[in-house]
Chain A
Amino acid sequence: MSVVALIRPDSWNFPLFLHVLGAMILVGGLLAGAATLGYARGEARFLKLGYWTLLAVSLPGWVLMRIGAGWISSKEGWDDLPDELVPTWLTIGFFVADLGGLILLVSLIVGGIGVYRLRQGKGSGLLRTTMVLSLVLLAAYLVAAWAMAGKPD
């Protein structure tokens, strides 16, 4: 058990709360979006609902999570450490957060084109891609949450 977790200064709590809340909203949005896209079975209304869930829930969740991550990281003094001293769990966290953010953005752009194509009466293939990317992101962020909470060496 991390001693830091037991004696955390009060001033760290709010940034940590923002980080955790954002991460929970992000994961919730990914599960909701991917499940809605997955169970849509080609139905346009549910495909759009899945896409808008990702856009309106996951994206703000990611922004909140990432702002909180940067804030708490600077408060805890990790930014001042040389790279070789940065713990693995933090490296995993930042790597997954940033790469995941990029993938989320790509999946939203692809999904947005997919929704446009859906309105034109074309297929829903691009939204299927968005769903697959969302599932990959969901798995990645659960690994990141495990690393953040368990803090492996």
Chain B
Amino acid sequence: MSFDDWMLALHVLSAFAMVAGMTLFWVLVVAGWRTDTPADILRMGPLSKVAGAAIGIGMGGTIVLGIFLAFSIGGYDIWDGWIVAAIVLWIAAAALGQRASAAFEPPVKKAQELQAAGQTGPSAELLALNRTTRGLVLQVLVSIVILLIVIDMVWKPGA
């Protein structure tokens, strides 16, 4: 395997990490839809960290190695339409992902407050915070953008 082959393999593995993290976030969103106790919300914290780490590694790896490959591989240029589209979509995914993550913070904070106050039973307010439409819409949008990146990478329109 050449150095470029290694970089491509790591680029693809980074994309896998990104999608894996996104999948885990979806599991948490779906589980959160029926979660109304502080203990259950807080139990999701470590899973959220695993998802965040996978997405962080994935996002970093895809952009750094992707740009490297655009310069390194003959026949591809950084200004190729499909590469520019991928970078724009990556930026959109990062921005939407940050907002989605922020949209799911209030239930965690509320759960911590309730736990600290000794209120460990079901809370309608907590459930309502978990069922954030804004968070759900942002999560759907991030997923669509990531899907578009995969489509762009496979079809390479204009290449």
Contacts and interface: CB of A to CB of B under 8 A. Distances in A.
Interface string A1-15: 110001000100100
Contacts of A10: 155
Interface residues on B, range: 35 or more
A29 to B, nearest CB: 6
Nearest to A3: B75
Interface residues of A, number: 37
A145 B5 contact: no
A32 B73 CA distance: 34
A24 B1 contact: no
A6 B82 CA distance: 13
A53 interface: yes
Nearest to A16: B154
Nearest to B37: A45
A71 B27 CA distance: 30
Interface string A42-64: 01011001000100010000000
B145 interface: no
Contacts of B47: 35-36, 39
Contact of B1 (A23, A148, A151): A151
B147 to A, nearest CB: 8
- Which residue of A21, A24, A25, A153 has the most chain B CB atoms within 10 A of its CB atom? A24
Contact of B16 (A13, A23, A46, A151): A23
Contact of B24 (A25, A32, A142, A152): A32
A145 B24 contact: no
A17 B23 contact: no
Contacts of A6: 75, 159
A1 B19 contact: no
B5 A24 contact: no
Interface stretch (B6-14, B85-93, B97-105, B110-118): B6-14
A137 B54 CA distance: 17
Interface in B138-159: 147, 150-151, 154-155, 159
Contacts of B147: 21
18 contacts: A16-B154, A17-B150, A17-B151, A20-B150, A27-B16, A27-B19, A27-B20, A31-B21, A31-B54, A32-B20, A32-B23, A36-B27, A39-B43, A39-B47, A57-B23, A149-B13, A150-B1, A150-B9
Given A24-B150, A43-B43, 6 more contacts: A1-B73, A17-B151, A28-B22, A32-B51, A49-B27, A152-B1
Interface of A: 1-2, 6, 10, 13, 16-17, 20-21, 23-25, 27-32, 35-36, 39, 41, 43, 45-46, 49, 53, 57, 142, 145-146, 148-153
